[in-house]
Structure 1
Amino acid sequence: MPRLVSVATAVPATRIDQSVAAGFARAKFAAAVPDIERLMPLFTHAGIDTRYFAAPQEWFFEHHDLAERSALYVTEATRLSEQAATAALEQAGLAPVDIDYIIYVNTTGLATPSIDARLINRLGLRPDVRRTPVWGLGCAGGVAGLSHAFHYALAHRGARVLVVATELCGLTFLPDDMSKANLVATALFADGAAAAIVSGDEHAGAGLEILGTRSRLYPDSLDVMGWTVLQEGLQVVFAQRIPDIVRDTAAAEIEAFLATYGHLIADVDAFLLHPGGTKVLEAYAEALALRPEQLDLPRGVLRDYGNMSSATVLFVLERHLREHGFAQGGLGLVSAFGPGFSSESLLLRT
């Protein structure tokens, strides 16, 4: 079976502590939101200590049109993607010419040619490398990217696939949007990049064996999460009921996925879940009857980086590999929810 052979991450230079972000939000939203103090626990209860952003702190106090945001996105997304991909190649002991297929995942910026084309030039990938940019899957995009890599490597046993997920959520901030959804986004989201390499089973070596994947779209839920495209940029859509949906659907969805491979939730040793926020993690814990320590890994990534959309679950995987390596024997569940409303899951031998 195809194997996950490396995961690497990169974050931009601007680090903002959550207390500083809370002060910014208080100053920005106070005039339009009379009960701003009642909403400030969004920051203190977010389970986040620090986040990283591609733009300097003062950038968020200014107005920027879509053209300016897009230009900054192209520059910074390319730089961070190259950094993460280079590290993933080094970890795997591979040269750029060894990559047969590159998948680039993103939801927070637009570029044509897409960032994968720029990476082919910057990294020195082969001119005949296959490439697929994946846009719009939000927080589920990282798992979906790995899923696509798995299925390609399953069909092409000699292939090596590079997956890059880069999100610059901060560049989507709209200073005139005084909605609660924007305030929630200001408390949660951050910037980051991650890269992973999946190898077909013709290649020997260490790695986490990928056993299978699952995708699910929930009917009539288009309004739960996503973007509204405005003249000045992308306005976040973030329904309050997201934790309730996770709580109501996660158990049945994951039980059905695991049953395909003859397993139960109790068989899973590592829950490598996307930490969309503390309420999402609490909903997962309740739905799957997990002990608090079983979510220490995703909770730690949320604390140290915030929610970086599609890249976040790869940060969780990177931390798992850093702590446990490629020791085989247990089962690892990788899962995330995203726009659609949808879920993506991956089963690993950890």
Structure 2
Amino acid sequence: MSSPPASCTLRGIGTALPAGWIDQGETGVLAGRTGPPPGPEGEPGRRRISMLYRKVGVKRRHLVLVEPDSEGTEPERVPFYEPGPTGPSTGDRIAIYEQHAAPLAVRAAAAALRDAGVDPGRITQSVTVSCTGFAAPGVDCALIEDLGLPRSVGRTHVGFMGCHAALNGLRVAAALCAEDPSAVVLLTAVELCSLHHQYTPDPLSDAGQVIANALFADGAAAVVLTGADFVPDDPNEPPPVAEDVYQFLGSGSVLLADTGDAMTWRVGDAGFRMTLEPAVPEAIREHLSAWMDEWLGRFGLTQRDVGTWAVHPGGPAILDAAVDALNLPAEALNPSRSLLADVGNLSSPTILFLLDRLRATRDVSSGPVVAIGFGPGLTVEASLLG
């Protein structure tokens, strides 16, 4: 069945990770140091943390809090989180965000521009995405200053929408391209999730917070999108990768009923606190397929017409739930599981990392790509890509 016409083209993708990284075993030590009390009294809690860290499917994570050339044991490599009742204040955490978010975003955006073969001076709109920090002037202004974007570039920010926010950003970028077919849009997502590690003095009863601590990491990703009237800088010189990466065909969103407390993201005195309840995968199993049928039907498609499923790796349980809901073979989401193991959950940039990996292996003739993310609400966001 034919796909709907594209509203814009994704020309290039760029990604960036902090140079410093730490393996999951070491981060489990960090959690033990910022959780149960020392000595025999806290030993059951530390064992619980170690078990949960092994189960989340992450092997290593890149963190801005780790010096890339640091040596020694894990506590010396992540000195930001000292033993105590709650950890650094929100102000202290945001100060680190302001220091590190913009340089990481600039690296990803520069890579996307190179990949697309687009000069920074041609960008007409900049869409930024982040939910792990606030600063103004911030990432949007840094992109202009450091990359040489036009000072007249339009700026739009998508904030505090969680793991699916890059898909919201794609919707915004596509709307800008539809409004102005000559538009050249730079979408940049950056998250420093490690800044919001929450202390867990009672991990035996707070497993959801331990899992959230175990999953999230830092990273940035960017995409260059163009409208229908885009003309390459040099029509005779092909871009570094291909004429286009994906075609944006449409988007969808749904707020699932009676799931408001299943996943939350709130600002506290000691950072931003994420809660993940067991109800999240069960809600996905119950509701995702019916909504997907309805949404795809708007484009004259069914689930069988989808060639590639790009599901945000929010965690093993979420991926298992998506496999069950969409009646997929388990291996269909292996790229998502592999990405989770390699870098952890980066929140909003993660789906762009996944699309970057999938473009090398997907079979265009097999059908469109459906990218899916989940966020607080509980909400589902999806993009249809050709």
Distance 2:297 2:225 in 1: 24
**Alpha carbons 2:177, 2:227 under 8 Å: kept:** yes
> Displacement of 1:171 after TM fit?
0.5
> Displacement of 1:20 after TM fit?
1.5
Q: Map residues 137-148 of structure 1 onto 2, 5 A cutoff.
A: 137-148=161-172
> What letter corresponds to residue 78 of structure 2 in structure 1?
E
* Aligned residue-pair number: 348
Name the CA shift for 1:126/1:61 in 2 (closer, same or farther; >3 Å): same
The reply to whether residue 299 of structure 1 matches residue 326 of structure 2 is no
- Pairing partner for 1:315 from 347, 353, 366: 353
**Alpha carbons 1:224, 1:238 under 8 Å: kept:** yes
**1:192 paired residue number:** 219
> Displacement of 1:37 after TM fit?
2.4
**1:126 paired residue number:** 150
- Select between 51-60 and 130-139 the one with higher mean Cα deviation: 51-60
> Displacement of 1:262 after TM fit?
1.1
- Select between 71-80 and 18-27 the one with higher mean Cα deviation: 18-27
**Alpha carbons 2:81, 2:88 under 8 Å: kept:** no
Name the % identity: 34
The reply to whether residue 213 of structure 1 matches residue 213 of structure 2 is no
Unaligned runs of 5+ in 1: none
**2:372 paired residue number:** 335
The reply to whether residue 169 of structure 1 matches residue 193 of structure 2 is yes
- Select between 117-126 and 310-319 the one with higher mean Cα deviation: 117-126
> What letter corresponds to residue 339 of structure 1 in structure 2?
P
- Per the normalisation by structure 2, the TM-score is 0.85
The reply to whether residue 48 of structure 1 matches residue 85 of structure 2 is no
**Alpha carbons 2:129, 2:190 under 8 Å: kept:** yes
> What letter corresponds to residue 61 of structure 2 in structure 1?
R
Distance 1:189 1:340 in 2: 19
Query: SS of 1:59's equivalent?
Result: coil
**1:243 paired residue number:** 281
**Alpha carbons 1:43, 1:187 under 8 Å: kept:** yes
Query: SS of 1:37's equivalent?
Result: helix
- Per the normalisation by structure 1, the TM-score is 0.94
Compute the RMSD of aligned alpha carbons: 1.9
Distance 1:58 1:347 in 2: 40
**2:179 paired residue number:** 155
Once the two structures are superposed, residues 29-60 of structure 1 have per-residue CA deviations (whole angstroms, 9 ceiling, x without a partner) of 23268444245332112111111111123234
Distance 1:235 1:116 in 2: 25
**Alpha carbons 1:167, 1:308 under 8 Å: kept:** yes
Unaligned runs of 5+ in 2: 1-5, 67-76, 232-242
Structure showing greater radius of gyration is: 2
Distance 1:329 1:291 in 2: 16
